[in-house]
Amino acid sequence: MEFGSPEFWIAVLQIIAIDILLGGDNAVVIALACRNLPEKQRKTGILWGVVGAIGLRIAITIFAVALLAIPYLKIVGALLLLWIGLKLVLPQDSHDEHNIDGSASLAGAIKTIIIADLVMSLDNVIAVAAAAKDSMSLIVFGLLVSVPIIIWCSQFILKLMERHPVIILLGGGLLGFIAGDMFVRDPVLKDWVEASAPWLRDFRVAGIVAALLVMIVGKVLASRAAGAAARRGMVDLAASDEKS
């Protein structure tokens, strides 16, 4: 496939379309990971998180078919994604009771973006590789073109989160949905699901259950954390009153 040919540009448009359609969850996790950063660091976190994630995705694409055939890989990835979803749903104070400086928070956000994209890319890269017809230069070109699109989506979602905090909970649920759907597609479970419980995959039941699990458990833990913080505040206030 020659650079600049009609076939080349059609493939590029296909890759960009795949990234837009399948990259919505990536934009959500980027926005979630950066939501607690200071305003000045958000764009930096989004930029480097996306750059690292895209670079990692390119590397994964090379070995996509072989990776997805490894037993238990999707199961491990699904469990990791569930953990990330729960962690992002919880308020920042419940993650770490200690003060974290700006650089540490920025590094943590970038790391979260890259790890989450690694997990979520396992399904996406096969579609990209198919559109590129095994041309690695085309894969790299198409993914690089998609970077500003993903960055814009992330910033847009960040603004929505500031106005509507419920989006944070829904974003965690989306990660849970992806995890549940990934879990039942692992090679170890695939034959059993097709023979005994195809509805888990066909009707996305596993994804829905996992999404509800993340949202319910996350909401309960967040409520407990808020209650504990309120009690600590009352204790501190009482202590200060006694001193005065």
Place of tokens 């419920």: 166
Residue 206's pLDDT is 92
DSSP string, 59-115: HHHHTHHHHHTSTTHHHHHHHHHHHHHHHHHS-HHHH-SS---HHHHHHHHHHHHHH
pLDDT reading at 209 higher than 90: yes
CA dihedral 23, 26, 32, 35 (to 10 degrees): -80
Amino acid at 171: G
Place of tokens 């920042």: 92
pTM above 0.85, yes or no: no
pLDDT reading at 100 higher than 70: no
pLDDT reading at 208 higher than 70: yes
State how far the Cα of 43 lies from the Cα of 53, in Å rounded to an integer. Answer: 15
The contacts of residue 244 (CB under 8 Å, 6+ apart) are none
State how far the Cα of 128 lies from the Cα of 142, in Å rounded to an integer. Answer: 9
Count how many Cα atoms sit within 13 Å of the Cα of residue 211 in the half-sphere of its side chain.
17
**pLDDT, tens digit, 9 for 90 and up, residues 214-233:** 999 988 888 887 777 777 77
Is 178 within 8 Å of 25 (Cβ atoms)? Answer: yes
Q: How many percent of the chain have pLDDT more than 90?
A: 9
Residue 196's pLDDT is 92
The contacts of residue 65 (CB under 8 Å, 6+ apart) are 126, 129
**pLDDT, tens digit, 9 for 90 and up, residues 8-20:** 777 777 777 666 6
Mean local confidence (pLDDT), 169-186 = 85
Is 186 within 8 Å of 57 (Cβ atoms)? Answer: no
